[in-house]
Amino acid sequence: DARVTQTPRDKVTEMGQEVTMRCQPILGHNTVFWYRQTMMQGLELLAYFRNRAPLDDSGMPKDRFSAEMPDATLATLKIQPSEPRDSAVYFCASGRGINEQFFGPGTRLTVL
Amino acid sequence: AQKITQTQPGMFVQEKEAVTLDCTYDTSDQSYGLFWYKQPSSGEMIFLIYQGSYDEQNATEGRYSLNFQKARKSANLVISASQLGDSAMYFCAMRENSGYSTLTFGKGTMLLVSP
């Protein structure tokens, strides 16, 4: 049963530290999405890749966030420096084509 | 303006009863897709059902069906014969074909199923 995997599942860090979240999309999927979920804002799209190329990262604060796909099996989301307002659950999702998005279990980030 | 509106913050239903979760959407695209996801307390997002804007039949997946009313721009999720395991947050989402095929989510509805 293929699944999107995300590491770490939980991360607690101090303000100012760098945070890197990793996602392994389902093999064969060519689209990868990063979402952030908070109680106040709900689910927000941060970045979107198709065939490893970033197509939309308009939802991402550019000064501190960066998203990359070094290869087809790995997507990363980095925050540097982290701030308390970045505390959220970060989801990665992957799919084939436009009608499917399978979500990973999420990374719960707490920035103190 | 919100693109996806879920007006019910919470819904209660008794086991074995049917329940309808409301979703209205706003788009000027002719071609778009509508999705429902379930998020149980464990946190994962589980895809439930998809409806394309050109699909003439309402989508069904087991106990889930989507009541698609295009003129009213509504895409309500109907869960028949509720089970205790259906207790979760439910999110409606839309993909507009004019964009990069990303999903815009509603705020969600919390469904609680009681015995």
Residue with tokens 């420096």: A81
Give the C-alpha separation, B27 to B96, whole Å.
8
Is the pLDDT score of B2 beyond 80? no
Round to whole Å and give the CA distance between A66 and A82.
12
For all residues of chain B together, what is the average pLDDT?
Answer: 92
Amino acid at A79: I
Q: Could you read off the pLDDT of B12-67 as tens digits, one per residue?
A: 999 999 999 999 999 988 889 999 999 999 888 999 999 999 998 999 999 999 99
CB-based contact, A5 to chain B, within 8 Å:
no
Candidates A9, A96, A103, partner chain B, best to mutate (most B CBs within 10 A): A103
Q: Which residue has the higher pLDDT, B79 or A100?
A: B79
Read off the tokens for B47. Answer: 């895809």
Rounded Cα–Cα distance for residues B27 and A97 (Å): 21
Residue B21, sorted as left (phi over 0), alpha (psi -120 to 50) or beta, turns out to be beta
Distance from CA of B112 to the nearest CA of A (A): 18
- Report the C-alpha gap between A65 and A71 in whole angstroms: 19
CA distances from B18 to B12, B22, B57, B67 (A): 11, 13, 20, 13
C-alpha dihedral (B43, A19, A5, A93), degrees to nearest 10: 70
Tell me the per-residue pLDDT of A41-73, one tens digit each, with 9 for 90 and over: 889 889 989 889 888 777 788 899 999 999 999
Statement: residue B99 has pLDDT above 80: no
How far apart CA A67 and CA A60 sit, in angstroms, is 9
pLDDT in tens, A69-105: 999 999 999 999 999 999 999 999 999 866 778 999 9
SS (H, E, C) B12-66: EEECCCCEEECCEECCCCCCEEEEEEEECCCCCCEEEEEEECCCCCCCEECCEEE
What secondary structure letter does DSSP report for A25? P
Measured between alpha carbons, how far is residue A25 from residues A1, A28, A41, A75, A100 in Å? 13, 8, 25, 8, 13
Residue with tokens 């939980």: A10
Instruction: Please tell me which residue of chain B has the smallest CA distance to A39.
Output: B107
> CA-to-CA distance for B89 and B34, rounded, in angstroms?
17
Give the model's pLDDT for residue B101.
60
A102 touches B at CB < 8 Å: yes
Residue B103: the pLDDT is 82
Check B105 against A101: CB less than 8 A apart.
no
Nearest to B111 by CA among B87, B81, B78: B87
Residues of chain B in contact with residue A91, where contact means CB-CB under 8 angstroms, are: 45
